[in-house]
Amino acid sequence: MKKVHLLFPAIVMAATCLFFSCNKSEKIVVATDATWPPMEFIDQNTKEIIGFDIDFMREIAKKGGFEVEFQDTAWDGIFAGLANNTYDAVISSVTITEERKKTMDFSDPYINAGQVLIVASGEPGSVKIIADLKGRAVGAQIGTTGAFEIEKVGDVSLMEYDELGLAIEDLVNGRIAGVVADTPIAADYVLQNSSYKGKLKIVGEPFTEEFYGIAVKKGNTELLKKINKGISAVYGTSIYAKMEDQWLR
């Protein structure tokens, strides 16, 4: 009888733990390179990561039935960390490409953001595309589709930067002739950033059609289903429109 009495509390505790673990939301760690306003960046007052991607990820987590924790991660190692299980997913203005699909899986697309060219406001109106800057240097963040587009153009020197803000600074100071970036981020630097208003302009039209997606480790179908469930519940709704108004317009 004593053995029964000793085992009974343990059985109850095990059953209780099992019950609560089954009802507790899963927490996933999401990496983001918080240097891309208005998509993801550090609030100078609160020192917290904010932006469109951050709000969007929180909303889809609610709908997908999980919790999320963000980890600020440098872009040049962000995908290696995903492969090494340092975190569970990446949301960081990541363009879905066939090359990237070989090493990671992507969620459904959630925003279309083609590449555009930023130049100094004093640049002549004849400059519309990268090829118009032949013989000069054009900058982009390292490893981005913007850098890939510059490489395609002959007689233009690619200057790569760890952060896009450094490329913008060089453009403002006349060290390079242009910067290629995703449309939302370019708009933020040119239209919203008080430090650059009147000094820069976006020329021409977006010359690529690109879609952002949330990356997960190759084969992580369970997490991908949860993320896609959240995206389908948020994308195109009034909640999504409100985030667009706040961050992208």
The rounded distance, in Å, linking the Cα atoms of 50 and 39 is 8
Distance in Å from the first CA to the final CA of the chain: 72
Asked whether residue 179 is assigned to any structural domain, the reply reads yes
Count: domains in the chain: 2
If asked whether residues 72 and 56 sit together in one domain, one would say yes
Tens of pLDDT along 56-110?
999 999 999 999 999 999 999 999 999 999 999 999 999 999 999 999 999 999 9
H or E element at residue 9: helix 2-23
pLDDT confidence band for 116 (50 / 70 / 90): very high
Hey, what are 194's tokens?
A: 């008080």
Q: Is this prediction's pTM over 0.95?
A: no
What mean pLDDT is predicted for residues 211-236?
Answer: 96
Please name which of 199, 30, 184 lies closest in space to residue 107, comparing C-alpha atoms: 30
CATH code, domain with 88: 3.40.190.10
Return the higher-pLDDT residue of 191 and 145.
145
Residue-wise burial string across 190-207, b where 16 or more C-beta atoms lie within 10 A, e elsewhere: beebeebeebbbbbeebe
> 132 and 150 in one domain?
yes
Q: Let me know whether 75 and 185 are in one domain.
A: no
Report pLDDT for 222: 95
Q: Are residues 195 and 225 in the same domain?
A: no
Model confidence over 155-174: pLDDT tens digits?
999 999 999 999 999 999 99
Does 220 share its domain with 197? no
Whether residue 216 sits in one domain with residue 99:
yes
Q: Tell me how far apart the alpha carbons of residues 107 and 86 are, in angstroms, rounded to a whole number.
A: 19
Residue found by looking up tokens 């040049």 in the block: 76
For residues 129 and 65, membership in a common domain is answered with: no
Classify 41 in phi/psi space as left (phi over 0), alpha (psi -120 to 50) or beta: beta
Which range marks the domain in which residue 194 is found? 115-203
pLDDT score, position 205: 84
Q: Are 231 and 107 in contact (CB under 8 A)?
A: yes
- Residue 68: phi and psi, rounded to 5, are -135, 140
Same domain, 101 and 120: no
32 in a domain, yes or no? yes
Q: Are residues 216 and 191 in the same domain?
A: no
Do the domain assignments include residue 98?
Answer: yes
Same domain, yes or no: 96 and 169: no
Is 236 a member of any domain? yes
72, 185: one domain: no
Structure tokens at 182: 């995703």
| 159 neighbors 138 (Cβ within 8 angstroms) | yes
Domain for residue 123, yes or no?
Answer: yes
How big is the chain by its Cα radius of gyration, in Å?
22
pLDDT recorded at residue 234: 97
Report whether 83 contacts 147 (CB < 8 A). no
